[in-house]
Structure 1
Amino acid sequence: MHFEAEFKLLLLSQHLIIYILTDEEERLEYTINQIVNKESNSSIYSWDFIDGYQNNPNYINKAKRSPIEALEFIETLVYETPKIFILKDFHVFMNDISIIRKIKNIKKILQKTNSHIIISAPTTQISPLLNDIITIIYFPLPNIKEIEVELKRLFTLMSIDISVDTTKLASAYKGFSIEKIRRSVAKLLSFRRSTEEIINNILEEKKELVKQTDILDFYSNNHNLKDIGGLINLKQWLIKRSNSFSKQAKNYGLPYPKGILLIGIQGTGKSLSAKVISQEWRIPLLRLDIGKIFAGLVGESEERMRKMIKISEESAPCILWIDEIDKAFSRSNNNADSGTTDRVLSSFLTWLSEKETKVFIVATANNVLSLPSEILRKGRFDEIFFLDLPNYEERLKIFQIHLMKVRPLTWKKYDISYLGKLTNGFSGAEIRQSIIEAMHNAFYEKREFNTEDIVQVTNEFIPLSFTDQASISKLQDWAKSGKVRFASRTVIE
């Protein structure tokens, strides 16, 4: 639901104390003023710890440095008309027993007078004693339309005659607060630059912004579909959905794709595939280290999951890459942490099933047999792909891709056909490593490396399919049971 509609609904349905999560105090206060002035005749009072009450000449500086007095002030007012009290950063005082008691007492007055308290805070910090009387909502970052309006306003204010595409610029700024956009525009547009140069700079700023969250990482990469050897079924699936987030797709009636789960043996291209989707679809890639979600304090893990979801949706359209999801949501973990894993998993799966934003999930897992059945249930992901060890044709392509990168002019002199036969049971990562090892050996001997160097390395190399044969065979048998779709076409060697 849009913030304005949600906020008006809460006011009308007697939600008397509303806790709004935001870092944008100024924009929130402006938005509330706009809504109230349009919808009702309520008076608005704004308070902060340093300056006390503002925006009413009769009460300037009232309750400075006194949160308890700020609440007492609400009790003393004459309520001829409904009133709205915006208390900034009030969350830091809400574990004090006197504040808790005073808020409970004030609730009765608010009820009689159809008035409301709005608490503006950047984080959730509420005493359990107040959970029943406080409603928490998020104030979203500006959408693309709001950003475009602000950009045009700034260009006019700064007298900048600029030829950049404001729609593209607004899309790049998605996930920024208005204040950050203003600072960025002042810096980036001080020199004449092309739209592409400006957008690249914005993406670098966004990368730093996401990194500060300590939950997500912003990945920039230059991998494309040509960097993947094989996986034809997966590639075709991705190509068909490359414009799924476009306006044309929406007008056609297509829902936004939810995501895919990539299951398979280590080194078969699961992580590379996530990077390739980002490049192919031309939308940013955010990587979630799932281990960072789980924290020591009670309730903090759930809060981090909510924060991750919020950041992802504010950065949309984007790819959210969750690497090795099986390590966090293993069946063996569920009973070892007082239910924290279950609650975090439940929150994630609910979002995955219900989300309608342009966030495409790419989750990877090595050991699917340890995953809870809820993750594999139909409807969670659009598709589940199994990435097996590469077949002969795929091994030829993998050798070609890696040799072309290191020897773009002379790669054809290597006997790829022979190497492909020799590396049956090797993963793509192991093939790449065999080439690198051969190069090291030849470089040490101060000569060019050749096919024989790679052959020698592969003859001495012990692939994972040999050292962990039982686990891999078990995984392959599970995949053949028909529960997943193979990322590659079946080729009999």
Structure 2
Amino acid sequence: MHFEEEIKLLLSSRHLIIYIITDEEERLEYTISQITQRDCQYSIYSWDFIDGYYNNPNYVKQAIRNPLGALEFIDNLESKTPKIFFLKDFHVFINDISIIRKLKNLYRSLKKSNSHIVICASEIQIPILLRENITLLEFPLPNYQEIKAELKRLFSVLQMNSDLFLEDLVIAYKGFSIERIRRSIAKVILSDRSLDDIINIISEEKKQLIQQTDILEFYNSTNKLEDIGGLVNLKDWLTKRTDSFSKQAQNYGIPSPRGVLLVGIQGTGKSLSAKAISQHWGIPLLKLDVGKIFAGIVGQSEERMRSMIKLSEQSAPCILWIDEIDKAFTKLTSSNDSGTTNRILSSLLTWLSEKESQVFIVATANNVLSLPAELLRKGRFDEIFFLDLPNFQERSSIFQIHLMKVRPLTWRNYNIAYLSNLTDNFSGAEIKQAIIEAMHNAFYEKRDFTTEDISIVIHEFIPLSFTDQESIYTLQSWAKSGKIRFA
């Protein structure tokens, strides 16, 4: 439901204390003012800690630096017209016992006067004693149409023709507040740059905005699909969806792809694939450290999960990379932490199933057998791909890719077929490490490395896959039965 429709419904259905989460108090105050003037005919009384009540000439500077006095003012006001009391930053005071008691008492009197309290807060700080009395609502960041209207207004004021690049700027500014857009557009206009440079400047600002949260990391990727040896099915699946987030795809009626779960032992290219998708599709990559979701304070983990989802959707279209998801959501840990893991998992599963935003999830897991069955159910991801140990042809491709990077002119001098035969049960990462180790040995002896140097390292190497045969056999059987797909 659109925010304006939701706030009108709450007011008309006698939700007396409404707690709204936002960092845009000026825009929220303007929005509520517009709603009430147009549809509801409420009088608005605004209060903040420094200025007290300030927008009504009869009550200017009432309750300065006095949050309890701000509530007593509401209680003592005798006007019978419907009123909205807009209290800024009131979450800072709301856990005080006198404020809690006063709000509970006010709740009864507000029913008789058809008045409402709107608390504008930057975070959730609702005491348990008030949860039955308060309705929580989130004020969304500006949508596509609002950003477009604001940019048109700004360009009109600046007397600039924006038709050529308006759409690109609207997409780039998605996830910004109106105030941030105003500051940013002033900076990019004064910089006198090309459109590509302007988009890069905005992307850098978005990167800084995301990293300030300490939940998501804005990940710069230079890897390409061509850097991955093998994984033919996965690369074909991804290539067919290259333009799935475009306007043309939306007009065609194609739903945006939801995401993939990549499973397999370490070193088979799961993380590399996540990075390459971002580069291939040309959309930003956000990396989630699941460990940062789980905080020590009760309730904070759930708040961080909500923030992660909000940030991801604000940055759409984007790729959300959840690395090693099996370490956070395992059958073993979900029952011994007072239910926090179960609640976080439930929030994630609900979002995966219901999300309509253009956030493509790439989740990776080494030990898929430890994952809860709910996470593997159809509908959470578009596909589950098993990244098996590379076969002979794939190993040859991996050797070629890595040798071409370090010896672009002489890579054909190496006996790739011979080396590929030697590396049965090796992962792609282990093949790369064997080449690096051979280079170190040869560099120490002040000569170029050879096929023989790589061969010596391979014979001394014990592949990690020998320690994880149970998982490999299980995943291979799932892939053969069609439960998941070979990558």
**TM-score normalised according to structure 1 size:** 0.95
Q: C-alpha separation between the residues in 1 aligned to 2:444 and 2:186? A: 52
Q: 1:117 and 2:117 equivalent?
A: yes
Name the amino acid aligned to 1:5: E
For 1:131-159, what per-residue CA distance to the aligned partner results, in whole angstroms no more than 9, with x for missing partners? 01111111111123322332333334345
CA distance in 1, matches of 2:263, 2:157: 52
Provide Cα deviations, 1:228-277, integer angstroms capped at 9, x if missing partner.
Answer: 11111111211222222222322333222221111111111111111111
Residue 442 of structure 1 and its aligned partner are, at CA, apart by: 2.0
Shift of the 163–409 alpha-carbon distance from structure 1 to 2, 3 Å rule, reads: farther
Aligned-partner SS, 1:378: coil
What is the match of residue 441 of structure 1? 441
Q: What is the one-letter code of the residue matched to 2:7?
A: F
CA separation in 1, counterparts of 2:69 and 2:355? 42
Q: CA RMSD in A?
A: 1.7
Distance in 2 (alpha carbons) for counterparts of 1:37 and 1:244: 42
Alignment-mate amino acid for residue 411 of structure 2:
W
**2:344 corresponds to 1:369:** no
Structure 1 portions without partners, runs of 5+: 488-493
The answer as to whether partners of 1:262 and 1:270 remain within 8 angstroms in 2 is yes
Alignment of structure 1 residues 311-326 onto 2, 5 Å: 311-326=311-326
- Relative distance call for 1:197 and 1:113 in structure 2 (3 A) is same
Q: What's 1:92 paired with?
A: 92
Q: CA deviation digits over 1:283-305, x for unaligned, max 9?
A: 11111000111111111111111
Q: Deviations over 1:446-480 (max 9, x none)?
A: 22222222222212221112344444334434544
1:484 aligns with 2:463: no
Distance in 2 of aligned mates of 1:162 and 1:358? 26
Structure 2, unpaired ranges of 5+: none
Which residue of structure 1 lines up, in the alignment, with residue 455 of structure 2? 455
Displacement, 1:160?
Answer: 5.4
- Rounded Cα–Cα distance in structure 2 between residues aligned with 1:255 and 1:468: 37
Contact 2:386/2:475 (8 A) holds in 1: no
CA distance in 2, matches of 1:285, 1:339: 30
Residues of 1 paired with 2:205 and 2:122: CA distance? 21
Q: Determine the C-alpha separation between the residues in 1 that align with 2:9 and 2:334.
A: 38
1:331 alignment partner in structure 2 = 331
Q: Distance in 1 between matches of 2:173 and 2:414?
A: 47
* Partner residue, 2:345: 345
Alignment check: 8 A CA contact 1:398 1:428 kept: yes
Q: Determine if contact 1:349/1:380 at 8 Å carries over to the other structure.
A: yes
Residue matched to 2:32: 32
**Structure 1 CA distance, aligned partners of 2:172 and 2:225?**
24
Q: State the distance in 1 between where 2:356 and 2:19 align.
A: 24
| Counterpart check, 1:409 vs 2:402 | no
Contact 1:164 1:195 in 2 (8 A): no
Q: Which amino acid aligns with 2:394?
A: E
- Counterpart of 1:303, as a letter, is E
SS at match of 1:331: coil
One-letter amino acid of the structure 1 residue matched with residue 218 of structure 2:
F
- In structure 1, what residue type is equivalent to 2:416? I
Matched, 1:209 2:209: yes
1:389 and 1:425 in contact (8 A); partners too: yes
Paired residues of 1:164 and 1:194 also in contact (CA < 8 A): no
Moved more, 478-487 or 290-299: 478-487
Measure the CA separation in 1 of the matches of 2:108 and 2:293: 39
Equivalent positions of 1:84-233 (< 5 A) are 84-158=84-158, 165-233=165-233
Contact 1:390/1:428 (CA < 8 Å) preserved in 2?
A: yes
1:300-352 alpha-carbon deviations (Å, 9 max, x no partner): 11111111111111111111110011100000001110111111111111111
SS of corresponding position for 1:189: helix
Q: What is the one-letter code of the residue matched to 2:423?
A: T
Q: Percent identity among equivalent residues?
A: 69
* Structure 2 counterpart of 1:22, one-letter code: T
Task: Kindly provide the CA deviation profile for residues 323-382 of structure 1, in whole angstroms up to 9, marking residues without a partner as x.
Answer: 011100000001110111111111111111111111111111110110111111111111
Secondary structure of residue in 2 paired with 1:333: coil
CA distance in 2 between partners of 1:122 and 1:404 (Å):
52
**Secondary structure in 2 matching 1:69:** helix
Most deviating of 37-46 and 174-183: 174-183
Tell me which residue corresponds to 1:392: 392
1:272 match: 272
| Aligned equivalent of 1:490 | none
Equivalent position of 2:284 in the other structure: 284
Question: Aligned equivalents of 2:251 and 2:169: distance in 1?
Answer: 23
Counterpart CA distance in 2 for 1:276 and 1:175 is 24
Contact 2:388 2:472 survives alignment (8 Å): no
Quick one: distance in 2 between partners of 1:107 and 1:383? 50
In the alignment, which residue of structure 2 is the partner of 1:423? 423
Q: For residues 115 and 188 of structure 2, what CA distance do their matches in structure 1 show?
A: 44
Deviation at 1:481, TM superposition (A): 4.3
**1:237 corresponds to:** 237
Q: Is the 8 A contact 1:140 1:314 kept in 2?
A: no
**Would the alpha carbon gap of residues 164 and 414 (structure 1) be closer, same or farther in structure 2, given more than 3 Å must change?**
farther
AA aligned to 1:181 is: I
Moved more, 108-117 or 299-308: 108-117
Q: Is the 8 A contact 1:264 1:365 kept in 2?
A: yes
Aligned-pair distance for 1:100? 1.0
| SS in structure 1 at match of 2:364 | strand
| Partner Cα separation in structure 2 for residue 131 and residue 179 of structure 1 | 31
Q: 1: distance between equivalents of 2:36 and 2:407?
A: 67
Would the aligned equivalents of 1:172 and 1:202 in 2 still touch at CA under 8 Å? yes
* AA at the equivalent of 1:328: A
CA distance in 2, matches of 1:468, 1:432: 20
